[in-house]
Structure 1
Amino acid sequence: MPRKREGNQGQQSVLKFFKKDSNRKNGNSNSKIGTDVQEESCPNDADDNYGCSMRDVDTPCALSAAISGETREGCSNSICTTVPGETISSDELQKRKDKFHDKFTRKSGHKVGWQERWKSEYKWIIPVSNDKGNIVGMLCDLCKRHSVRQKNGEWTWSVVPATYLRRDKIVGHLEGEQHFKAMIAEMDSLNSLVDGGIQQSLQFQIELNKEALKTAMKSLYWLIKKEVPHTSNYRSLLDFAKSHLGCDILKHLDKGGNAHYTSERIIQELVQVMADQISHEQMNKLNGSLYIGLMCDESTDISVTKELVLYGRYTDKGVVGSCFLEIIPIKDGTAVTITSAIQHWLEKNKIGIQKVMGFGSDGAACMVGRKGGVATLLAKENPMMISIHCIAHRLSLAVSQAAGRVNLLRDSFKPNLSELFRFYDYSGVRMAKLHDIQEILDVAQLTLKEAKDTRWLSHDLACKALFNSLPAVITSLEYEARQNATAAGLATWIKKYSTLATLYLLCDLLPHLSALSKCFQHHQVDLQQINIHIAVKIEVVSSMKDTVIPDSRLSQLDDDITGRLGTFVITHASDDAKERWRVEVQRPFVENLISNLEDRFSMTPLLSAFGIFEPASLPDPVPDDYGISSLRCLMDHFGRADGVVTCDVRDEWIGLRQYLKTHKTLSRNDLMQNLLSNPTMMDLYLNLLKLASVMMIVPVCTADCERAFSTTGMKHVKTWLRSQNETVH
């Protein structure tokens, strides 16, 4: 038998203490878990009883010598060198213990800490939590189920949690012998159940059926998303997948001689299931939001049916979102009918009208009428609701009405521009000849665009297309004018100086407004940034009133008349005609446009009051009364909101104002996320976060409703052929 180490009871206690301390410093709270610690042995490891190994830390020569005063012969470690009979103080003992710990531990560069994605990547991991709910270890489900030990006999991963929360340790266990033995045991267990267990066999068949149905639903979902007629293509797509793509799982859809899960009734049921799931998720987001905003628009589809489309705005953890709600058939487009449809939808989904704090529309009389509009009728039930006229519609109206007050634009330019588009669009022969001329002139083969007041960006695209193809279009019109009176009239019109100058002016001006319109159509457009962008564009437009901007298209007109348009006779190009165009067209159009922009985008005091939530607008130094008047304006309107305590709002604002002083670099979106998602901020500013939530959900643009009609409700989904079916289909 090996010689036992001499020592008293106190020595053994210190040994146990040192072992626990070493494990604690290595991030291991369980003394039995030692498989992840790197080993380093003392040179004096010939004697098994005194080997300086971290694996046998109960009897290290260094600690033994430190406590008993012995000197191990042949040991070169300085910590092992002691004088026989020497009495070691507690401080010296601690120093030697720390030195021993530093020698036998290594720091790794691996990322340490539990990662939630490990649950999905490694299905067999079982996280282990402490009393505080923090994950401090991991178990292997397979090793635990089959009680498999490690190679060294330890129960780590099966009984004792592995406390090194690192990916390399997980991979090492996955590739190790312990996990492999557990997998073999699991396979043997499953095989025994398959061979002799009816329940296991039945469960396996059920899983196959579920997987087959999931694959079929994914195929159906793909058809719907790609706007492919799913009723007629669903069965053929599944047959193709089974016969040519190797999707054998779909064969489990065939049950008996007549059950294939491909009938029209099954298709409609699957579509309804997917629709219900999407609707359920959307309603959860709306119900989870403190307040919501509604956007609506009505139009007539191809089957001459009046339809009302509804969209909703909500906040989710401080981030604003927008979602489609429903397309509702209505008998007419009156305000009473639309209001009744909205109220019925709210009642059906158990949403109170008091939760609707924002309403957006296209600004039609039936929507925003002061006496009987939809916004007015809804405000009778919820006076705190804010009604917004879509800013993209307002911008489009500002441009079209400014052009309507200029005779040349209203009576000549816009009608002839539309007639020019129809002249080529209605004849494939003329369009082909135009493309041939473009190829000969070595210009891009562009088609002319149609300009409509109902399409926000159409005038900009139409003017750009004509500008880029101008030489080819004039050449084509002169050729067609030999046999066509319409072409002769269009050729005469387009070769006038006033027409060319107007075209060049619009090509300089409209891109700025089109960029602004695209910005407004974004569902996360910032309410407080609207007036800032409008002011910038007004300055740009004002610069085109009396002068010509250098390097602009209008500044190049005279060079183009003698250059790329030099082969054509441009009429009415005298100095008097040019000055008359500037007086009758350029100046009035720019002045009307500026006036319309200022009138239609004047911010109301209520909306301006929300500017206190913009950290960038905080003055320096901050006055003591900053934001008080804006806060009073907000409380006059929203003071009756559910849960808002008026007397506490002022105190909360003083605290938030001080917070903004020290966080001036904070963006408005970051501030909103903190107010609406950070638990501490939510407790401190309980009333202000409700006002901030209202600002977030106010719908400033109804572009989503327009897209719903143009992409789903009107053109792509409800085509002429499908309109022959009933509405429910």
Structure 2
Amino acid sequence: PDIWNQKQWEEFKEKYPWLDCRDRKLGEYARINIVNSRETRHLSCLMSGATTVLKQSGNESRNIKLASLGIKVKKHVDSKAQGIVHKIQDQRKVNVLGKTIEAISGVVDQATEAVFRTAYYLGKNNRPFSNHESLTELQEHSGVNMGYSATGIVNHIAKEMWKNVVKSLASSSSKLAVLIDESTPLNRKATLIVYLKASAEGESPIFVFLDLVELEDQRAEGIASALFECLRNAGFTDSYLQENWVSFVSGGVSVMLGRNSGVVTRLCSKYPQLFTWHCMNHRLELAVADAIDEVTIVNHFKAFMEKLHNIYRQSNKNEREFNEASAEVGSQILRLGRILDVRWVASSFRTVQAVWVSFGAFYKHFENASSDLAARLASPESLCDLALMYDVLYELANLSQELQAHSMTIPRTEHLVKRTTRVLASFKDSPGDKCEEALKAKDLGEFKSITLKPNPKLNCINVGQLLQNPVNNIEKHLSNRDDLLAALSILDSSRWSSNPSIRHGKEKVKRLCRRFSVNTEQAINGIRNCVENPNSEPEDLKPLMVCMQTFPCRTAECERGFSLMNNIATIIHPLMSNHLSNLLTLN
């Protein structure tokens, strides 16, 4: 104001920090909105973005004006409006409303987190949803606010998990492989299980469960339609699949692999770039089954093993007596299953192994229970057959187990298969470990303190025929006419010559890149860098390498998925495919 000098203004400003001056007029220019406040409606302060202006008196002397202005300032300081304004300003500074909302939100988040963790626990550990109520009551007694259904929460978690997976794959344009298998689970409905193998953000490809689909139509057209719908529902667009779906693997039933109208044919008509593959483990089983069918004398061995299985698996009395005999001779007890009629060859090996390990216990029991079986078991013919089947099935079981490794690739599969056939062929010239042990026992006339007596009614298995037939059938069933296998070999530097050309593998790399939509120029630069430095891992070659690693060679994940599904789909869980699918996603 005109009556104040600079020093007076500074003194008043220091004493009253809220005081302001505009156009030489004192006032409190507070921008505060107070809505519908009955108490402040008539206060001497303009409450909606306005100002409180303190005017000096008119014609009085300077001293009177100074006194009058001081009184007005003091009156304003003591006014009710001034108190309310400053109270609101203080609350705004400490953000009372924001902190209140944040606190309420925190309470809600804690309750949501608690109930989600409870539902996730049920799904992850295959517990019945009926446990959710008792668990929530327990936590409510502990002071936690809860109140959502376990089914809804599990479904929500599974859907959110899949949204993130699909978003990650789509954003990184990851190459995709699809694995399917069909089965009839506990609910007696034909069900298709779908798995994916993909790489997220350039990492090593992994297997991921996608969905369980109840099949209304088990013909090729129905299965193909169900698979297309499953992929669409998951969020994969047709343009993404055209660009990034590179491989499809299934079992060997005719509806899948039929050349004229099978599922594979229908998929390839829509996605020509697709590389299709018949499960390698299933091919191995077919090869072994064909080999056994051709060597008819093996049927006698199979019938003998089947008789052992029936004796002990269908009678608790026989099993108890066998356990007592095992304890007497100090023999290890292994589970006795069926032989040469199950999906995985490893199961047949475990049965033969059980008889070999528990040979003394079997003979001890048969001495009292069945003299005919005891005489057959203690013959050198049966012992040599058992040893031969042990050696052969041991190698095939090892191959089957190795093929189920998560990191298995098609080139590695081809190498393992060829190695196993060479091992089997070598048994014709040099007996395996168990055969060698059996031959020594035959010469001594004793095995595990049991006297061996020849049985003229028995004919030994033809060693050469049994060993050659699996080799021939494995090579026949595991062969693949697709030139992709030859092209893939270029990525294995161990197969290169000692001094390859700088253009080595260019055409094969170009063929792979064109087929699977990989940057050709980048891949060629990568293979050239690899030729120059064989021990290096060029970054330019990584996209093509990851693409090739995406190709699965078997459907073992589908088998594991069905096994897990059967554990979940009991009377404690509803047998509805959408709930089972969400539970499998959590697991």
TM-score exceeds 0.5: yes
1:597 lines up with 2:465 in the alignment: no
User: Matches of residues 563-574 of structure 1 in structure 2 within 5 Å?
Assistant: 563-568=446-451, 570-572=453-455
Give distance in 2, aligned partners of 1:721 and 1:419: 37
Aligned to 2:207: 322
Aligned pair partner of 1:416 in 294, 304, 318: 304
Q: Which amino acid aligns with 2:350?
A: L
1:429 Cα deviation from its structure 2 partner: 2.2
Q: Which amino acid aligns with 1:304?
A: R
1:622 lines up with 2:500 in the alignment: yes
Give distance in 1, aligned partners of 2:154 and 2:455: 64
Q: Tell me, yes or no, if the aligned pair for 2:502 and 2:531 is still in contact at 8 Å.
A: no
Aligned to 2:557: 704
Give distance in 1, aligned partners of 2:260 and 2:282: 22
CA deviations over 1:322-370 (Å, ceiling 9, x no partner): 2111000002321111111112223332422413221101122111111
Q: Which amino acid aligns with 1:706?
A: E
User: Matches of residues 543-562 of structure 1 in structure 2 within 5 Å?
Assistant: 543-549=426-432, 552-560=433-441, 562=445
Q: Tell me, yes or no, if the aligned pair for 2:409 and 2:552 is still in contact at 8 Å.
A: no
| Matched position secondary structure for 1:319 | coil
Q: Tell me, yes or no, if the aligned pair for 1:293 and 1:698 is still in contact at 8 Å.
A: yes
Q: Which amino acid aligns with 2:214?
A: P
1:415 Cα deviation from its structure 2 partner: 3.2
1:461 lines up with 2:323 in the alignment: no
Distance 1:213 1:490, change over 3 A: farther
Task: State the TM-score, normalized to the length of structure 1.
Answer: 0.61
CA RMSD of aligned residues (A): 2.9
Aligned pair partner of 1:367 in 217, 242, 256: 256
Aligned to 1:585: 462
Unaligned runs of 5+ in 2: 1-90, 580-587
CA deviations over 1:385-439 (Å, ceiling 9, x no partner): 1110111111222222212211122x22223323322321222222122111111
Aligned to 1:252: 144
Q: Which amino acid aligns with 2:308?
A: L
1:235 Cα deviation from its structure 2 partner: 2.5
Give distance in 2, aligned partners of 1:336 and 1:489: 54
Aligned to 2:124: 225
Distance 1:643 1:531, change over 3 A: closer
Distance 1:439 1:674, change over 3 A: farther
Distance 1:228 1:653, change over 3 A: closer
Distance 1:653 1:232, change over 3 A: closer
1:198 Cα deviation from its structure 2 partner: 6.2
Q: Tell me, yes or no, if the aligned pair for 1:296 and 1:702 is still in contact at 8 Å.
A: yes
Q: Tell me, yes or no, if the aligned pair for 2:219 and 2:255 is still in contact at 8 Å.
A: yes
1:606 lines up with 2:484 in the alignment: yes
Aligned pair partner of 1:284 in 167, 179, 188: 167
Distance 1:539 1:726, change over 3 A: closer
Identity %, equivalent residues = 21
1:225 Cα deviation from its structure 2 partner: 1.6
CA deviations over 1:244-277 (Å, ceiling 9, x no partner): xxxx3xx231xxxxxx516xxx121111111112
Q: Tell me, yes or no, if the aligned pair for 2:378 and 2:450 is still in contact at 8 Å.
A: no
Q: Tell me, yes or no, if the aligned pair for 2:291 and 2:466 is still in contact at 8 Å.
A: yes
CA deviations over 1:435-477 (Å, ceiling 9, x no partner): 1111111122333233342134101111111110011012212
1:341 lines up with 2:341 in the alignment: no
1:727 Cα deviation from its structure 2 partner: 4.7
Q: Tell me, yes or no, if the aligned pair for 2:333 and 2:354 is still in contact at 8 Å.
A: no
- Of the structure 1 ranges 232-241 and 540-549, higher mean CA displacement relative to structure 2 is found in 232-241
1:235 lines up with 2:133 in the alignment: yes
Aligned to 1:382: 271
Distance 1:568 1:236, change over 3 A: farther
Unaligned runs of 5+ in 1: 1-191, 254-259, 482-487, 677-688
Aligned pair partner of 1:450 in 332, 338, 341: 338
User: Matches of residues 499-578 of structure 1 in structure 2 within 5 Å?
Assistant: 499-549=382-432, 552-560=433-441, 562-568=445-451, 570-572=453-455
Distance 1:364 1:199, change over 3 A: same
1:196 Cα deviation from its structure 2 partner: 11
Give distance in 1, aligned partners of 2:112 and 2:336: 48
Q: Tell me, yes or no, if the aligned pair for 2:523 and 2:541 is still in contact at 8 Å.
A: no
Give distance in 2, aligned partners of 1:696 and 1:268: 37
Q: Tell me, yes or no, if the aligned pair for 1:358 and 1:694 is still in contact at 8 Å.
A: no
User: Matches of residues 490-505 of structure 1 in structure 2 within 5 Å?
Assistant: 490-505=373-388
Give distance in 2, aligned partners of 1:504 and 1:625: 51
Aligned to 1:65: none
| Matched position secondary structure for 2:332 | coil
Distance 1:728 1:528, change over 3 A: closer
Q: Which amino acid aligns with 1:607?
A: L
Q: Tell me, yes or no, if the aligned pair for 2:122 and 2:132 is still in contact at 8 Å.
A: yes
Aligned pair partner of 1:716 in 567, 571, 583: 567
Distance 1:538 1:387, change over 3 A: same
Q: Which amino acid aligns with 1:232?
A: S
Q: Tell me, yes or no, if the aligned pair for 1:367 and 1:373 is still in contact at 8 Å.
A: yes
1:208 lines up with 2:121 in the alignment: no
Aligned to 2:82: none
1:297 lines up with 2:181 in the alignment: yes
Q: Tell me, yes or no, if the aligned pair for 2:291 and 2:470 is still in contact at 8 Å.
A: yes
Task: State the TM-score, normalized to the length of structure 2.
Answer: 0.74
Give distance in 1, aligned partners of 2:372 and 2:257: 43
1:304 Cα deviation from its structure 2 partner: 1.4
Distance 1:285 1:587, change over 3 A: farther
Give distance in 2, aligned partners of 1:558 and 1:616: 40
